[in-house]
Structure 1
Amino acid sequence: MAETSGRTALRAQGRRVAAAFDGRQSSGTRHPLVAVAMALPLAFLLAVVFGGWEAVMTQASSVVGMLGR
């Protein structure tokens, strides 16, 4: 029994450490606009580097459609 509770405690501690390094809040989710603000600069950079404006615009249109619901 003691070995099982020790493993459980280690797992719980591991989750807390992982959450601390992950930077996410343990009780909530990220707001969709924050996620968009994080993704847009990378999308823009990839579009410029690889010339995929059409693909980026299609994805952006899909995201806007989902946020509008």
Structure 2
Amino acid sequence: MAQTAVGAGTGRAPRRHPLVAAAMVLPLALVLAVMTGGAQAVVTQASSVAGSLGR
């Protein structure tokens, strides 16, 4: 008799904890931000906000 995998064919994957999902996505997001210049935009914006606050 053949054994089947648990949940095979149900079409639903188990849900991940939100922190696990974030840990999976953040490295790729950081690489893309650096490649596209998004990191520089964040630094520029933070500098502007700091200047507005008088720091």
TM-score (normalised: structure 1): 0.39
TM-score (normalised: structure 2): 0.47
Q: Higher relative CO (CA 8 A, sep ≥ 6), structure 1 or 2?
A: 1
